[in-house]
Every structure is written in C-alpha cells, then in structure tokens.
Structure 1
Amino acid sequence: MSHPRIDFDPFDEPRPAGTSHPMLDGLRERHPAFRSEARNGFWVLTRYDDIVAAYQDAESHSSRAVSVADPDPSYRWIPVMLDPPEHTTWRRLLRPLFTPARAAAMRDAIRRRCVELIDGLAGNGSCDFVADFARRFPTTVFLEFMGLPVDRLDEFLEWEHAILHPPPSGKGRAEAMSKVTSCFQDLIADHRASPPAPPTDLVSAAIGFEPDGRPVTDDELLQLCVVMFLAGLDTVTAQLSYSFWHLAGHDADRARIVAEPGVIPDAVEELLRAYSLVLPARRLTADSDAHGCPMRAGDMVLLPLTMANRDPRVFPDPQTVDLGRTPNRHIAFGAGPHRCLGAHLARLELRIALEEWHRRIPDYRVPGGARPMEHTSLVLGLDTLPLTWPPPETV
C-alpha cells in the first residue's frame, strides 16, 4: 500500500504572517500521516489523538533527537533530550523550581519589568512589537530567573537572534553559541565558588542537585542552562507576537480584553491553542504503522502541536479564536512526560503582558501597507510586527 509523500519542509523560507497555521490545517485534513523527504526524510502525524498518543509513549518515541533536521545529535540538552528513567530523575529535581507558587513569587518583578517596557513605548505611538517588546520582556525575566544581571539584556538579545534566527549561511551562529556557553560556564563557576545561601535562582539551586545520589556535573549544569536559554526565550516571544498580531486585527477580541480583563486567562489559553508554534520531533525506537505509513525504528517523526490544537475532531470551529472556549484541551505545552516545565511561568508572562499592555495601549493596529512576516523552524514566529496607536493625549 502506498503512503502519501508531501513536499513539506518545516525550515522553509519566511512567508506572510498567518500563512503557516492554515497551511498545516490543510495538510492535516488531507492526510492523517505522511512522509516528507525534506532534510533527512521524516514522517508527520497530523491529528490530535495520534500526536497525544505519541507524546505519551516515551518508550517508542525517544526524545534523544527532537529536531527532524538533526536525527543523531552530538549534544544532550537536559532534561528535554532525556528518556525515562533518566528523564524522570531530572524532572523530579527540577519540578520544585517551576511550581505555580514559584512563578507567583516572581509576579511583582515580572509585572514591574513589563510596565517599564510598555511605559517606555506608550508615548511613541508606534513600535516594532517583536523587537521592542516581545523579545525584550521574556529575556529580562529569563536573566533574573537564571541569576544573570539584567544589564546584559542587549548582549543576550544579540546572541539569541544569531542562534535561533541565523541567515541561510548560518553566519554568526557558532560564534554566538560559543559566547552563550562561555557565559554559562562562568556563571556555574561563580556559583560553585560562592554559592548563594539560600539559593536565589535556577543555577544556585541546581548546583545542589544529586541525580541518582551523585553530585551534578558542570557539563550537566551547562546543558540545563543552554536548553533554558533556547526553549524559554523564543517560545514566549513568538506566542506574544502571534497573540498581539491577532488582537491588532480583531477589534472585537481586543475590545473585550480591554473591557473585561477577567477574560485574559481564558484568552491566553485560546491564543495558545489557535497559534501553537512548536514543531517537536521524536526518534522511533520500534517499527510501527500509522494510517498506512510504514515507520521504522530510527526514523524521525514530526509531531506538530499546532496540527493537534486546530484539529476539528477535538475543537469545534478550530480556526476561530473564541476567547471563552470551553472545554479547551489544548496541548500547546506538549503532552506526556515531557510536558513543558515552564508552562506556569510562561502563562504568567503572557497574562501580565496582556493586562498591562491593554491598560496603557488599548487601541492599536498594524499600519496599512505593512506586511509582517513569519519564520518557520522548530518554532513558528513573527520576524516583525509593526504596530501603531493614538498618542496618549488623544486616547
């Protein structure tokens, strides 16, 4: 039996904002599973039930490789690229640092940083939301969470962009990665030499970890820091960008958030569902057959969260953003044992951004003639988002 082969590359050229999600919707409705020969060749599961089942089956779907572009990586990001039982050990160590209570303890500092950024923009009447807010806000939160000075913000923004969004040539990526690695090595060494008491940040807490009863190594701490840098910044930036792109173009949704701030937690969940942006993969450890696709051990399989979260078999009218949608069983933060540890903190950042922005800048839009573009990779996101609004004195 033949199986579908689609010319699909998640690392495609930039395209107009709002293109990727409908394109992936179309693929899902045509094929529950298919094969792409892009990159090294990989399979794609497209529907909610199959994708959730794959995430929950960590034994057959290994996280040792999480990108279809790199099926045999030399690195091992902790805990993202660990399988049980090793993953279970690290998850148990890290979980106390990512509880709702720990996120709540950061609320005032996060809100203060958010307000400072917005107040610095409000009087301008315009901004590039991606560059001026969506990238800067979560990076300030990350620096404090890791125990790094916020005055290194511009340095980290430069490294982040070079690593996550390099030019096609890849120029600058290796150099930036080397600088990030060196920065975290210095941070680990400083905390080893003078451990804060009590621990005040992720690194100072992690140096006391004892996985399997032994002291944590510097290399393990480095891999943990790197994955926090890569996973914690681009995802929140991208989600903020898509959320505000949607609200800038949907006056009724924006007006409701302004008039009813109490809807913001539900709005965050619905925007997470409608604009899910991570395209993770797994490496199969056993042969399987999905909808006539003969998948073999060692093959990579892409499990796009956005395809699951916009599946009409689970979400009625999934292309419509319904700020009061209930139930909303989205998996924007993944599913199974690798569900995102930082979900509570990410939700808090998104809620605070929506609250404080709409308190100060309630009426904004994408200016006529502007053409925001989105990039495709392991994380979908906007490259730019120009916004304009009335000057404060006329609001």
Structure 2
Amino acid sequence: MTMSEAVRGCPVHTFNPYENSPVGTKLARYDQLREEAPIIRNSIAQGYYVVTRHEDILATFQDPETFSSRAVEVFTPEPDYRWIPETLDGDEHFQWRRQLGPEFSPKSVARLDDTVRRRAIELIDAIADRGSCEFMADFAFQYPTSIFLELMGLPIEHLDHFMEWEHDILHGSGSAEEVVARQTAAMGAVNEYFAGVIAERRQNPGGEDLISKALEFQIDGAPVNDEDMGSFCLLMFMAGLDTVSATLGLSFYHLAQHPEDRSRIVENPELIPTAIEEFIRVYAIVVPSRKATRDTEIAGCPVKAGEMIALPLNSASRDDAAFEDATTFKIDRSPNNHIGFGAGPHRCLGSHLARRELKIALEEWHKRIPHYRLGEGVAPHEPGNMLGIDAVSLVWEPAQGATRP
C-alpha cells in the first residue's frame, strides 16, 4: 500500500481490494486505516472513499437518501444490473422487504430447523472418522448451499455450477477490469439459469419454494416481471451461497488456533449463540458500498455526488470507540450490539437464518469432533473484496468422531 498527498482533507492510498492475500491481510489493512483517519481515498481505478469508523459507517447506512444503494460495487458506479432488493431505494425497496420479511422471520426460519440440522449431521458424519478434512470444501461450502437450494426449490445436482458462479461474482481476484469481467460473465450465466427456472414456475404455480412465492408478490400494484424476478434470484443466489460459508470458515479457523475458546464451546454449548455474535463482529465479512446522491461530507471530508463509498463492516465492528478492546475476540462478550449484518433499511434480511445455520453447525460439529487443529503447512488466502477464506485444513484423532450423537 502506498500513500500520497491528502485529497479534500483525507489521506490517499492505493490498494486493490480484490487482491488474493494471506488470511488476515484485509482485517489488518482496515484496522490500520481506521487508526489513521475516519475516511480515506483509495485511488485505484476511478477512485472511491473508504469510511473506517463505527460512528460514520452507521450514520452512512442510516441516511439512504444521501447514500444510495443503487450502486453497491465500488468499481461499478453505473451498474447495468439490479440485485433485488439490495440495490433498490425508497418505496420500491420497502415493498419488496415487506413481502419478503415473513419468509425470513424467526418463525419461518424455525420451520427449517430439522432440515438444517439433518444436513449438518449428514456432512459431519461423512468425514468424522477420516481424521482430517478440507473444511471449506467438505463442509462450509456444501452446508448452507444445500439449504439455499432447498429454500429456492432447486436441485442439489447443480451445486458445482452454483459454486463456480458464486466464486467469480464475489471472490474473484486480479485487476479491477478482470474482476468486473468475470463478475459480468458469471451473473449472465446465473441470469440465464434462473430465466429457465422462472418460466417453469410460471407454468406450474403454487409451489412452496421462495421463487414460487415471490412470483405472487405485487410491486406498485402489478405482478413482478421476469426481469425483476431474475434480479431477485441473483441476489438470493449470492447471499445464500456465500455469507454463512465465509463466516463458518473464519470461525473454525479461529477455533482451530484457540483451543481455550473451543473448549468453552464443547463444555458449555449454551455459549454458542454468544460466540456466534462475536465471530460475526470480529470477522465481519461484507464490505458494502453506497453512491452519493448529492454533494455532502463524511467525517469532514467533502464527497461529491456520484462518488462511491465503501463501508467495511469489520472496520466498524473492530472500532475501540464502539467496543472495548474491539480487535480482541471475547467469546462471552455482552452486550454485543455489532453491525455485522449491516444497519439501516438494508440490514441483512437473512440474519435469522444465518444465525440458525451457524448455531446448528457449531453444535453438531462439536458434539462429534470436539478437538481439532490446523493441518501443517496451511497457508490460506482470502480472495475477493469480501473477507473470507479459501481453505481451512483441519486434523483430529478419528476415534473421537461421532462420539456424542
């Protein structure tokens, strides 16, 4: 990272947020930027701002009229796509959220409990006697993805295609131009796939899957058209296939290196919900963006209409001004009012489902494999703009597998 003269009163850096870097690099970068200034300018590509502190990130999320969600990728300020409802503003966004809300309520999510737990047990039992696994490939990617496929009414046989597309959209590495090109191609493939699914659902209405239910929504008094349905399916695809996987990877990477935290979970499973909140806080994975709708300022720095602003959730949640000893993982931290799921009108719609998936995964894994460590020679990396981890090699004594069903 290099730094040049300040622009409009804030420091200027040059770094590629999509670089494929050793795990922990991005957390360290945002921690350093937060210490330096409340907002910095990244001069890469067309340039954009990075807000670094909890107070200013929260205020930006809570002012959707000034900071629009119609562009949520810093390198694509004029997108030719929509991710519904993420890239909607105002009343259109509200209408989608109001109708989607019941599908992701705690009551609705609870109905999936048996399915989620059964899938977790199935995957863990398949590897428990092996004594080792590549956690991301063997569990973290497969577990939430199969739940997403069931929620959307899609065949699990298509899992490999979904994972390839998801990687190119959310975890591509390289130059800004290369990343955008791969994203565009993958989103095109996803849209083509869902166009066929939507057509089939229209011919056979009344299903219980989320796509069938969304086809019955009314926006501005009219049924949802095929283009908007495709945009909705694209967002569900990205959210359902990635966020829980990434959080699981970072959580187990932490637990494999901190046996004291792992032992507390094994000995006191009631601590798991509190631990999950701390994982989400310390390792908040998403770096949302907004586009300024008018000339304004953030933390005293002038921002012009049309400029992009990145809002790294980890930087907010690791701010000592908001949390005591904020960069330290405290498994029993309470209270823990983090914004790891975002804030404002676009706060993560699937937070209840994500929490349940994480809770069940930690419960069932530690019943069967309570003691594990990182495999030797592990050098995991974090690709793409979001935090995440590409591989987590775990080893354990196979005799402990499935000892506490």
- What TM-score, normalized to structure 2? 0.93
Give the structure 1 partner of residue 205 of structure 2. 195
2:255 match: 247
SS in 2 for 1:289: strand
Asked if the contact 2:119/2:143 (under 8 Å) is kept, the reply is yes
Q: 1-side partners of 2:352 and 2:318: how far apart? A: 22
Residue 228 of structure 1 pairs with residue 236 of structure 2:
yes
Letter of the aligned partner of 2:241 in structure 1? L
- Cα 1:179–1:289 change in 2 (3 A) is closer
Q: Is contact 1:136-1:157 (8 Å) kept?
A: no
Structure 2: give runs of 5+ residues left out of the alignment.
1-6
> Shift of the alpha carbon at 1:324?
1.1
Alignment map for 1:99-248 (pairs within 5 Å): 99-166=105-172, 168=174, 169=178, 176-196=186-206, 199-248=207-256
* Deviation, structure 1 residue 368: 2.7
- State the Cα deviation string for residues 67-116 of structure 1 (Å, max 9, x = none): 11111101111110000021111111111111011111001001111111
- CA deviations on 1:222-249 (whole Å, 9 max, x unpaired) are 1000011112211111111100011010
Cα separation, 1, equivalents of 2:182 and 2:133 = 27
Residues 289, 295 of structure 1: 8 Å contact kept: yes
AA aligned to 2:92 is E
Distance (Å, rounded) in 2 between the aligned partners of 1:277 and 1:254? 21
- 1:301-331 residue CA offsets vs partner (Å, 9 max, x unmatched): 1111111000000100111111111111100
Is the CA contact 1:65–1:282 (under 8 Å) kept in the aligned structure 2?
Answer: yes
The alpha-carbon deviation at position 180 of structure 1 amounts to 2.0
**Which range moved further: 332-341 or 7-16?**
7-16
Note if 1:258 corresponds to 2:253. no
Alignment equivalent of 1:387, drawn from 394, 397, 401: 394
Distance in structure 2 (CA, Å) of the matches to 1:65 and 1:12: 17
Q: Residue 161 and residue 11 in structure 1: after superposition, are their counterparts in 2 closer, same or farther (change >3 A)?
A: same
Letter in 1 for 2:380: P
Deviation at 1:3, TM superposition (A): 1.9
Q: Is the 8 A contact 1:305 1:334 kept in 2?
A: yes
Following superposition, the deviation at residue 363 of structure 1 comes to 0.8
1:30: which partner in 2?
Answer: 36
Change (3 A) 1:299 1:363: same
Further displaced range: 174-183 or 385-394? 174-183
Task: Find the residue that maps to 2:379 and give its secondary structure.
Answer: coil
Asked if the contact 1:312/1:318 (under 8 Å) is kept, the reply is yes
Alpha-carbon distance in 1 for matches of 2:383, 2:60? 26
Deviations 1:338-388 (A, max 9, x none): 0010111111111111111111111111123221112241x2110111111
Tell me, yes or no, if the aligned pair for 2:201 and 2:212 is still in contact at 8 Å. yes
Corresponding residue for 1:281? 289
- 1:84 and 2:90 aligned: yes
Q: 1:326 aligns with which of 334, 344, 364?
A: 334
- Counterparts of 1:218 and 1:138, CA distance in 2: 26
The within-5 A match list for 1:284-323 is 284-323=292-331
2:89 maps to a residue whose letter is D
Hey, what does 1:96 align to over in structure 2? Answer: 102
Is 35-44 or 385-394 further displaced after alignment? 385-394
Contact 1:3 1:35 in 2 (8 A): no
- Quote how far apart the aligned CAs of 1:210 are: 0.9
Moved more, 4-13 or 14-23: 4-13
SS in 2 for 1:283: strand
Taking a change above 3 Å as real, the CA distance of residues 40 and 172 of structure 1, as seen in their structure-2 partners, is closer
Structure 1 residue ranges without an equivalent (≥5): none
Q: Per the alignment, do residues 3 and 167 of structure 1 end up closer, same or farther by CA in structure 2, a change over 3 Å counting?
A: closer
Percent identity reads 49
Name the stretch that deviates more: 16-25 or 140-149.
16-25
CA contact (8 A) 1:253 1:323 kept: yes
Q: Which amino acid aligns with 1:384?
A: A
